[in-house]
Structure 1
Amino acid sequence: MDALPAFGRFDGLEHRFAVRVYFEDTDLTGVVYHANYLRYLERARSDMLALAGVDQRRVHEAGEGAYAVRDIAIQYRAPARLGDELIVLSRLVGLRPVGVVIQQRVMLGATIVVEAKVEAVFVAPSGKPRRQPAQWVAAFEPLLWKGN
């Protein structure tokens, strides 16, 4: 089975992923419900990995393992509302044999809506951390953000 298609794009080392806010994303006050930002961030990370050549589905189906979020720090800065067109910006800021650290921002124009730093580790089917595939590390090395 082929890798899932990607919908975002890289702009240099930064991945850009568009998200539109739908009614189902909002709460009673008409703003995006806080947990839905985790979905936006996950979609953007998965898309970024696919564009980098990481076939998570194939590796998982082969029984080798999968990424699991180990840590996430998230800060909500401003609300997004029904119909807003958001861009999720993602940068690979850390690379280790067992995982990656990705810095993400959800933007509404020039306004930062959400900032997050996510650490994902590769885990065996048993749930224990293990080295991620060497070809993934090789794909990530040229994408590693060395700026601030």
Structure 2
Amino acid sequence: MHALPALGRFEGLEHYFGLRVYFEDTDLTGVVYHANYLRYLERARSDMLLAAGIDQRATFEGGGGAYAVRDIAMRYRAPARLSDELVVVSHLSALRPAAVIIQQRVMRGTLLLAEADVEAVFVSPTGRPRRQPAHWMAAFEPLVSKGN
């Protein structure tokens, strides 16, 4: 089976993932329901891994493990609404042997709607932290933002 191509793209150290707000994303008032931002961030992180050449599914199915979100700090700045075109901008701010820190922003044009700091830990199939695969580390090292 061939992996699907990434939908987003890297520009320098930042990964850009576009999406549109659909009716199912909104609450009664037509504003994006707060929990859906977590879905947007997850989709962008998954796409970022694909764009970096990392196949999460193959690693997991091969018994290597997977990422689990250990911590997320989210700040909401302005609402997104039905039919808005959004971009999730992600970059790696730290890389450790068993974890990665990703900073993400949800944007509508130049307006910041939400931002998050996410710590994802690589865990074994039994849920214990373990070192990330060496080829994952090699793919990430040139993408880590220095000084952020």
The TM-score normalised by the length of structure 2 is 0.98
Q: Does 1:58 align with 2:58?
A: yes
1:4-83 aligned within 5 A: 4-83=4-83
Q: Distance in 2 between matches of 1:3 and 1:120?
A: 22
1:46-66 deviation digits (Å, cap 9, x = unpaired): 000111111100001111110
2:97 match: 97
Identity fraction in percent: 74
The TM-score normalised by the length of structure 1 is 0.98
Determine if contact 1:124/1:130 at 8 Å carries over to the other structure.
Answer: yes
2:114 match: 114
Shift of 1:111: 0.8
SS in 2 for 1:34: coil
2-11 or 22-31, which deviates more: 2-11
Shift of 1:29: 1.2
Shift of 1:99: 1.2
Q: Distance in 2 between matches of 1:68 and 1:2?
A: 24
Shift of 1:147: 3.7
SS in 1 for 2:35: helix
Moved over 4 A (4+): none
Gaps of 5+ in 1: none
SS in 2 for 1:107: strand
Amino acid at match of 2:146: K
Q: Size of the alignment, in residue pairs?
A: 148
Q: Distance in 1 between matches of 2:104 and 2:81?
A: 19
SS in 2 for 1:10: strand
Q: Distance in 2 between matches of 1:4 and 1:104?
A: 23
